[in-house]
Amino acid sequence: MDKTVVYQGVEGAYSHLASSNLFPNSKLVASDSFLESMQMVEQGKADFGVIPIENSSAGRVEEIYRLVPKMQLNIIDEYFHPIRHALLAKKGYKLEDLKTVSSHPQALAQCMNNIKELNLEAISEFDTAGSAMKLEKSDDKTHAVIASTMAAQIYNLEIVKENFSDYLGNVTRFIILSKEEKIPAFQEDKSYITSLIFSVRNIPAALYKALGGFATNGIDLIKIESYSGIGSMYSTQFHVDLYGHTDELRLQLALDELRFFVEELKIIGVYERHEYRDKMCELS
């Protein structure tokens, strides 16, 4: 147990479960927020941070995309964790008496159809497992929470309904953050992802021109996110994930072309593509 890994939430949260799977022999430390998790890694209080960045049902975790440009960290890996929400309540509950349900906003969004079917009022809380911890200390048998089945065991709650997500195959993508840059050596038989952030110059069709180099050099873009730059509503930043390694000539040529049209370019990670992406391609 020579490494320390920080995650947002409390024991039983999905970030805790993902961290346990990724780093089974490491010291796991909970934090109150994503910002605190990142700061702990930046300050050397933790070696790695495990952060959720998007979900297959509810989309991106918007807060992360606002924090990433400000961080002094590197993405060293990605991990896809299956999310199996359960509806939990106090022991001795009666289903017809349940009136409200609380959880993290992402979890509520991922279960909204089932919440409406039970005619429950949704209440946003800071964390899935945190909601379970809070309910354990309450005597309210009209209230339920959405969290993992492990949270039910930890906080002495009863499972009202397993597989409470609206859609099967609910998955969250996590990124692993490190203060140190850890770029794997390029190997022809492996697939890689490069993540970068840039802001375009104030010229006509700047984004179109900036992305043109990827097309001409055969680089596949996985996703592109846009948001206002730090301290300005007029400066737009873009977060791009693409297939490729910075040691590949084709990506080097594409980045050279990109630099001509951007004011700022920051490569925030080069890492191996997770095997789950291959499963997604097989299903599509």
Cβ-contact 261, 210 below 8 angstroms = yes
β partners of residue 221? 242
Classify residue 204 by burial, with Cβ atoms within 10 Å: 0-12, 13-18, 19+: exposed
Q: Please tell me what DSSP assigns to residue 158.
A: E
User: Would you call 100 a catalytic residue per the annotation?
Assistant: no
**Torsion of the alpha carbons at 9, 15, 17 and 21, rounded to the nearest 10:** -140
Eight-class DSSP state of 92: T
Residue 75 vs residues 25, 38, 123, 153: alpha-carbon distances, Å: 21, 11, 33, 33
Query: Residue 94 corresponds to which tokens in the numbers above?
Result: 């009666």
Among residues 34, 48, 128, 172, the one annotated as catalytic is: 172
Please tell me which residue in 164, 174, 214, 238 is annotated as part of the active site: 174
Number of helices (H) and strands (E) in the chain: give both, helices first: 10, 15
Q: Is 216 a catalytic residue?
A: no
For 101-149, give the DSSP string. Answer: EEE-HHHHHHTHHHHHHTTPEEEE-S-HHHHHHHHHT---TTEEEEE-H
Please identify every residue annotated as catalytic: 172, 174
